[in-house]
Structure 1
Amino acid sequence: MARQNQNQSDQNQNQNQKQNNNQNANSSSTETDDFSMRETSPNLGGGRVPGNERFGTAFDLVEQMHYLYIRIVKARSLPPNKGNSNPSPDPYVEIKLGNFIACTKHFEKTPNPEWNQVFAFPKDRIQSLTLELTVRDKDGGEEDNSIGGVSFEIIELPVRVPPDSPLAAQWYRLENLFNRSENPGEGELMVAVWMGTQADESFPDSWHLDALSVEGDGIANVRSKVYLSPRLWYVRVQVIEAQELETNGNRQSEVVVKGAVMNMVLRTKALSSVRPMWNEDLMFVVAEPFDEQLVLTVEEKLGNKEEVVGKCLIPLHSVEKRMDTRVVSSKWCNLEKHTRGKNGEVNVVQLNSKIHIRVCLDGGYHVLDELTQYSSDFRATHRLLGTPSIGVLELGILNANGLTAMKTRNGRGAVDAYCVAKYGQKWIRTRTVIDSLNPKWNEQYTWEVFDPCTVVTIVVFDNNHLQGVDNGGGGAKDSRIGKVRIRLSTLETDRTYTHSYPLIVLHPSGVKKTGEIQLAVRFTCVSLLNLMQMYTQPLLPNMHYIHPLTCFQQDSLRHQATHIVAMRLNRAEPPLRKEVVEYMLDVGSNMWSLRKIKAHYSRLTGVLSSVVLFCQWLNHICIWTSPVLSVLVHVLFLILVYYPQMIPIFILIYVVVIGIWRYRSRSRHPPHMDIKLSYADRLTGDELDEEFDSFPSSKSGEVLKLRYDRLRSVGSRIQTVIGDMATQVERIQNLITWRDPRATAMFLVFCAVLAGVLYVIPVRGVVVAVGLFVMRHPSLRNRVPSVPMNFFRRLPARTDGLL
């Protein structure tokens, strides 16, 4: 299909390997620099001078890449093949540009072929002044016969500037390129040749220089595409009751209702077959268009077996849609008996049994993203509940550096990298750069933003579905190279962020940096007032709060939604495969991991550190570590007691001052994945092996026993903390429940005496006395616990009733 100069190709590959080795040596010099994000200064927009918009402004977040475009449309009146018994030629077009040779597909016995193929050659890799297009006849010999050709001078080619219309193809008479003194060749070739950038409409569908070796079905997996995930709906099935069920007559038997949509099956609880009343909700996820059916099956439990009593089929396209809290009218549906005849046909028998149900398509929820912590959209499914956009998100995917080789090709490491980005319903996939450890994409994409508190996800994958890959069969999967998340609320509006993000992946051998990706991000706000107003609106549609979903329903619905999205996007061309969709949607992120437990504990202690610091500071005041500071705190305490209206003012001023002071030390770039926060750099081999274990586990008994004992140890600590918290709360509650009659009587007497004291003595005096007692000098202190603390610790709790 295509031939390239091998020496030139090997030279470029060696340069890529040398650059990768140098970058790896530099990155491994210090551990802190390996996983850090750094700001970059790319030449965005090609360094255009204001007023000179030669190449337009649509791609101002990427570096301009200039290409030579060759559109080969068709040929006509090609001469017959005189040296063959079949006079009709088998034509194809050979493109020769210096040492590079590429070919179109060939047609058999066609004098008027139509190719409609576009080729793109990077301008910086053109090493010739002449472009030659030769029409050849594929006869199966060592060298195909030349019918004729056309040549172009590179320097004379026109430059196409979008948004100009596409350059019109022209007919060129074929000539003998090797001996122009002879008679001109026969036939004509329609082509269009021009210079352009990646903003050209032909860029996504063109054959690039690095992908000329890809053949067959692999061509579709190379090109960039934009995908739209399906619009998802919740199907709510309320199973109310059933009557006149034709069971075996045993009054002790139980019946259950099973609901099924596609491969998802849910069931109600089992009730007595005599007029059962369930009043249970079964919820499913479906996608537009509604081609599926809802199948309700009533089954009778006979020991360990279940016998079908009858079933009901409901087409989903006939189900009522609702977007508010109104109650959908219920209906009685007749059950049917489906039996299979002798010839395999299905016989349907109408029964007298009926089932009372209420079915609706709930469009007031938002499906899929509200069930994850990295949501990119919070809008309701129903279009009438949509909100206007508040801004535009622009993402420029520039390049990647120092990618880790994910496979071997011709005895050396290789990677065929492409990027997938997701925000809202729009997914994008860049073109695959073949065999490069430092790929350059320079592709820009745009999304509408409806909520600032959302996340855009960018992932780099290695394409394992190209022809000629050593590790590929039909079950090959695209390897993950790294992930980047950017939360829009952390971005300043109308500012362009250009950073190089480390690509971090957790492997069974530990955390690894697999390269860096350079991105340009800009969030443009349409109206600052609308943006600020979004912070006062509910995060999710109202249905999530009026009719909330249970935890079990959330897990089940998220699993269904992920399966539907993966199945739909896998049917696109080129497909976004299941492993790509699941990694983008963080499937399995809620599985047990000791690393995550440590990370969450560290986060919790970090949040509570300010409270701990305040308690330590108060303790230093009380023990008079610094007498001057303790005296100042006493004076401030007395001022606040005698002027209580100053308390909220003082707190607010303190918050304002602290906020202004920390403005100077604010982060200048969006947050990124932190391996220290994730405890990814402090993992043992067994902990990593446990995290990457399948579910259910595939390990042997001894390994499972060790991990189970460790899980019990960690769980016992959590159990102790929860139990202590419950004990303290129960002691406070038991102050007035007479669980300990003497303690309750003492507390009530103390409350009565305190009420009398507060009636006689001003509240300020009591507060001053208590405050001065707490902050008294150490010489007046006793290490024995105080009376209130002793009294509180002696209060009963419900621990006595635990087994």
Structure 2
Amino acid sequence: MSESNVDFSLKETKPNIGGGRVSGSEKLTSSFDLVEQLHFLYVKLVRAKDLPGSPCNPFAQVKVGNYKGTTKTVVNSPDPEWNQVFAFAKDRIQAVTVEITVMNKESFVGKIGFDIPDVPSRVPPDSPFAPQWYSLEDEHGRKGERGELMLAIWMGTQADEVFPDAWHSDAATVNGESISNTRSKVYISPRLWYLRVNIIQAQDLVSMNNNRVVPEVYVKSMLGNMVLRSQFSPDKSLNPTWNEDLMFVVAEPFDDPLILSVVNKLGDNKEDVLGSCSAHLSKVEKRIMPIPVEANWYNLEESANRNKLEVRFASRLHLRICLDGGYHVLDESIYYSSDFRATSKLLWPPSIGVLELGILNASGLLPMKSKDGRGTTDAYCVAKYGPKWVRTRTIVDSFSPNWNEQYTWDIYDPYTVITIGVFDNCHLEGGSKTADSKDRRIGKVRIRLSTLNADRIYTLSYPLIVLEPNGVKKTGEIQLSVRFTCSSTWNLLQSYTQPLFPEMHYLLPLSVYQIESLRHQATHILSSRLRRAEPPLRREVVEYMLDVGSNVWSLRRGRANLERLLAAFNLLVEAWKSFDKIRKWKNPISTMTVHFLYSILILFPDKILPLAFLMCIVHGASQYRKRPRHPPHMDTKLSLVESVQSDDFDEEFDMFPTSKGDKVLKKRYDRLRSIAGRMMTIIGDLATQAERLNSMLSWRDPRATSMFMAFCVIACATFHLVPCRLFALGFGFFAMRHPRFRINIPSLPQNFFKRLPARADSMI
């Protein structure tokens, strides 16, 4: 169970950002104005020349107090080149000089010293300091035939362009190749496409085994490690037909070819490959609308042996292959996705603004691993929005890491969520010891952009919460600063009236099973690509950020979604309680007033709708003072992680398929979990719709509530002027209009309603 008396609340903070000039509504445009300014002593070692000694295997050391950084060793070179930057945090410097020493293996070559108070300062966008040649001195400070060293030294901040790739004194205990795992980086996800393979028919198939049995033929498609197969053709002949679509997720650049094989099932787990063909995706047509592309015949090749392919032009496969750029390739949950744009850039909407995120610091982190007999944590952050991932530098051995790094994203839709995760780096020791280790999750934060006021700086401390088999645990807090700057108010308001997904999703919809399968493919591709970066974003990090496995059955989630649904209808319960008080005459004045209003409405029915909209206006205005001041965060009470039993957690953390019981129990239990998982999703969908209905007047999204109240004002005046009978007549004719006057994409009210915020992004 969860720990008692743990504070999971959101706290407002007042960090010293922007030089102490930032208030809640102040606009700042300077770089790195959402983080506290950190000062560093930078030393850039470029190269050396004319170094004595033979053989000469030089390296350099930069020493400031107790901190020491070492360059790589250049073998057999009296003129080595390093191009390495060392950064020492100014607040940790306890020395007045910085000393650079050049060594040849274990022997001393020469040194240079600088007084730290005399080091010049640089503030971007000033140009970088030019490196200069300095003569090396011996142990007694005499200059001789010791060679020269080219370097630059200056005082700067984290806004310096060399900051991400520098060696930091925070990671002084990390050496070798593991240094790269401590650096901050920006990653861009590969552009994902849906590949649609429409299998039409085959012609003149010939069995290699001269089998005269009526064939049961299907087509197997293979792209990389992904294999899909069609159904058996209903035409049991040598000219079978299918007209079936197979869908893949592919990423640019298209390296792997699409290989299709026509297979004849012989029975007894035996198969006969009747022929194969391949298609290179770089030559496949791209489309952005559901217009059929040209179908082509592909000659099937038969493998007589492994080293030779025989082409039989009589056997052919009729295919229609295209890259569907009109879809958005889902890699995240729909409820807290960070992007809804189509793959094709031709369909991208205009930008509505900029999101700026300042990752300040964390506090109260728990020990995540043991080192030298004591607990330690090497924390770093990952933030994901759209195709852009960012990773902060790793602060080694600290329970209160101080990052103060700022990142920026372009925004195209307010109904999107940025996700920030905190992890413990388990790849700093190097060698095979950490090759198979996984970075441990410390916690995650989601922020929905539509809940942020434009041009306001939010400085909040979010609790970091993880769910473990023994219950929920608070692992610390992370302090963030967020600002959403709107560049076009018209585009922002117009986005509320547009469909959430591109038109292709509505004109040629995908089934639920296809979406789940394609999302699994997309997350696998992203994990494979991002772990090949340097430093890699490992699979466990990507899956945690993308919420892989969130649709697996959980009794706790099912109960939480049911309670969300009941709480959303609480307004009807409160209305019934108020009416019950009225009919019981508990307040005679209120009861008489209701009797009077009821008589007026019955005698003048045309005033019913204007009065209803007027009540919405009054209720919305009364809720303005109670509007949420902060964006939502992970809610432990809403997620029921504090009230469930340990057996429920044991079921939730059980692997899928289950490891409990014998084979029969395993089969039945997995089927139950699969069905229950879909029921949980349906209940969550109902709760989301009900919460969106309540959010129209709750000011959770201030722009949406303002737009709805403006509509209520117009509707109130319209229904006051237009007789109700005329409105009912027009509505009836509109609802029964001819199909040629209908559109296949959602209407404006539907688009507005789907963009209203719900509490799904507050679920753990």
TM-score by length of 2: 0.84
Asked if 2 retains the 8 angstrom alpha-carbon contact of 1:245 and 1:273, the reply is no
What residue number does 1:223 align with?
Answer: 183
What residue number does 1:111 align with?
Answer: 78
Distance 1:56 1:204, change over 3 A: farther
**Residues 415-457 of structure 1: per-residue CA shift (max 9 Å, x gap):** 1101000001100011111111100100000000000100000
1:278 pairs with 2:238: no
Asked if 2 retains the 8 angstrom alpha-carbon contact of 1:337 and 1:351, the reply is no
Ranges in structure 2 where 5+ consecutive residues have no aligned partner: 684-723, 726-764
What residue number does 1:568 align with?
Answer: 529
Give the alignment of 1:206-355 within 5 angstroms: 206-247=166-207, 248=210, 250=212, 252-271=214-233, 272-274=235-237, 275-303=239-267, 304-341=269-306, 345-355=307-317
Asked if 2 retains the 8 angstrom alpha-carbon contact of 1:56 and 1:163, the reply is no
1:381 pairs with 2:343: yes
Distance 1:537 1:89, change over 3 A: same
Ranges in structure 1 where 5+ consecutive residues have no aligned partner: 1-26, 81-86, 140-144, 723-762, 765-803
Distance 1:185 1:683, change over 3 A: farther
Aligned length: 673
SS at match of 1:480: strand
The whole-number CA distance in structure 2 between the counterparts of 1:72 and 1:715 is 61
1:542 pairs with 2:509: no
What residue number does 1:493 align with?
Answer: 454
The whole-number CA distance in structure 2 between the counterparts of 1:260 and 1:432 is 40
Give the alignment of 1:445-456 within 5 angstroms: 445-456=407-418
The whole-number CA distance in structure 2 between the counterparts of 1:49 and 1:653 is 39
Asked if 1 retains the 8 angstrom alpha-carbon contact of 2:659 and 2:666, the reply is no
Asked if 1 retains the 8 angstrom alpha-carbon contact of 2:221 and 2:228, the reply is yes
Which residue identity does 1:680 align to in structure 2?
V
**Residues 71-122 of structure 1: per-residue CA shift (max 9 Å, x gap):** 1111111122xxxxxx333322222222333322223332111111111001
What residue number does 1:618 align with?
Answer: 579
Instruction: Calculate percent identity across the aligned residue pairs.
Output: 57
- Using the TM superposition, give the Cα deviation of residue 393 of structure 1 relative to its aligned residue in structure 2, in angstroms: 0.3
- Using the TM superposition, give the Cα deviation of residue 616 of structure 1 relative to its aligned residue in structure 2, in angstroms: 3.6
SS at match of 1:656: helix
- Using the TM superposition, give the Cα deviation of residue 162 of structure 1 relative to its aligned residue in structure 2, in angstroms: 0.4
Distance 1:709 1:325, change over 3 A: closer
1:40 pairs with 2:13: yes
SS at match of 2:102: strand
Q: Report the more deviating stretch, 270-279 or 198-207.
A: 270-279
Distance 1:89 1:331, change over 3 A: closer
1:608 pairs with 2:569: yes
- Using the TM superposition, give the Cα deviation of residue 353 of structure 1 relative to its aligned residue in structure 2, in angstroms: 1.7
Distance 1:308 1:364, change over 3 A: same
Distance 1:710 1:607, change over 3 A: farther
The whole-number CA distance in structure 1 between the counterparts of 2:418 and 2:220 is 38
The whole-number CA distance in structure 2 between the counterparts of 1:550 and 1:623 is 52
The whole-number CA distance in structure 2 between the counterparts of 1:555 and 1:709 is 17
Which residue identity does 1:523 align to in structure 2?
F
Asked if 2 retains the 8 angstrom alpha-carbon contact of 1:56 and 1:161, the reply is no
Distance 1:363 1:106, change over 3 A: same
The whole-number CA distance in structure 2 between the counterparts of 1:353 and 1:359 is 19
Distance 1:351 1:338, change over 3 A: farther
- Using the TM superposition, give the Cα deviation of residue 567 of structure 1 relative to its aligned residue in structure 2, in angstroms: 0.7
What residue number does 1:72 align with?
Answer: 45
The whole-number CA distance in structure 1 between the counterparts of 2:667 and 2:284 is 52
- Using the TM superposition, give the Cα deviation of residue 346 of structure 1 relative to its aligned residue in structure 2, in angstroms: 3.6
Tell me which of 326, 335, 346 is aligned to 1:364: 326
What residue number does 1:93 align with?
Answer: 60
The whole-number CA distance in structure 2 between the counterparts of 1:706 and 1:383 is 45
Asked if 2 retains the 8 angstrom alpha-carbon contact of 1:56 and 1:162, the reply is no
Distance 1:310 1:48, change over 3 A: same
The whole-number CA distance in structure 2 between the counterparts of 1:702 and 1:212 is 53
- Using the TM superposition, give the Cα deviation of residue 296 of structure 1 relative to its aligned residue in structure 2, in angstroms: 1.5
Give the alignment of 1:68-217 within 5 angstroms: 68-80=41-53, 87-139=54-106, 145-176=107-138, 178-180=139-141, 182=142, 184-217=144-177
Which residue identity does 1:646 align to in structure 2?
K
Asked if 2 retains the 8 angstrom alpha-carbon contact of 1:69 and 1:193, the reply is yes
Distance 1:251 1:705, change over 3 A: closer
What residue number does 1:692 align with?
Answer: 653
Give the alignment of 1:398-797 within 5 angstroms: 398-467=360-429, 472-622=433-583, 628-701=589-662, 708=669
Asked if 1 retains the 8 angstrom alpha-carbon contact of 2:67 and 2:172, the reply is no
SS at match of 2:599: helix
SS at match of 1:186: strand
Which residue identity does 1:308 align to in structure 2?
V
**Residues 177-235 of structure 1: per-residue CA shift (max 9 Å, x gap):** x423x563521111111000000111111111121221222111110100000001111
SS at match of 1:398: strand
Give the alignment of 1:44-55 within 5 angstroms: 44-47=17-20
Asked if 2 retains the 8 angstrom alpha-carbon contact of 1:370 and 1:378, the reply is no
The whole-number CA distance in structure 2 between the counterparts of 1:478 and 1:414 is 13
Distance 1:382 1:130, change over 3 A: same
The whole-number CA distance in structure 2 between the counterparts of 1:252 and 1:226 is 57
Q: Which has the higher contact order (CA 8 A, sep 6+)?
A: 2
- Using the TM superposition, give the Cα deviation of residue 148 of structure 1 relative to its aligned residue in structure 2, in angstroms: 1.8
- Using the TM superposition, give the Cα deviation of residue 172 of structure 1 relative to its aligned residue in structure 2, in angstroms: 0.6
Which residue identity does 1:79 align to in structure 2?
P
Distance 1:701 1:312, change over 3 A: same
What residue number does 1:62 align with?
Answer: 35
SS at match of 2:502: coil
Which residue identity does 2:288 align to in structure 1?
M
The whole-number CA distance in structure 2 between the counterparts of 1:339 and 1:522 is 65
The whole-number CA distance in structure 2 between the counterparts of 1:285 and 1:676 is 38
The whole-number CA distance in structure 2 between the counterparts of 1:490 and 1:682 is 28
What residue number does 2:692 align with?
Answer: none
**Residues 295-338 of structure 1: per-residue CA shift (max 9 Å, x gap):** 12111121232211111211111110001121111122221112
**Residues 355-381 of structure 1: per-residue CA shift (max 9 Å, x gap):** 222111100001024753211111110
Structure index of larger Rg? 1
What residue number does 2:687 align with?
Answer: none
Asked if 1 retains the 8 angstrom alpha-carbon contact of 2:39 and 2:89, the reply is yes
Asked if 2 retains the 8 angstrom alpha-carbon contact of 1:136 and 1:147, the reply is yes
Asked if 2 retains the 8 angstrom alpha-carbon contact of 1:226 and 1:428, the reply is yes
What residue number does 2:740 align with?
Answer: none
Distance 1:556 1:136, change over 3 A: same
- Using the TM superposition, give the Cα deviation of residue 127 of structure 1 relative to its aligned residue in structure 2, in angstroms: 1.2
The whole-number CA distance in structure 2 between the counterparts of 1:207 and 1:350 is 61
SS at match of 2:514: helix
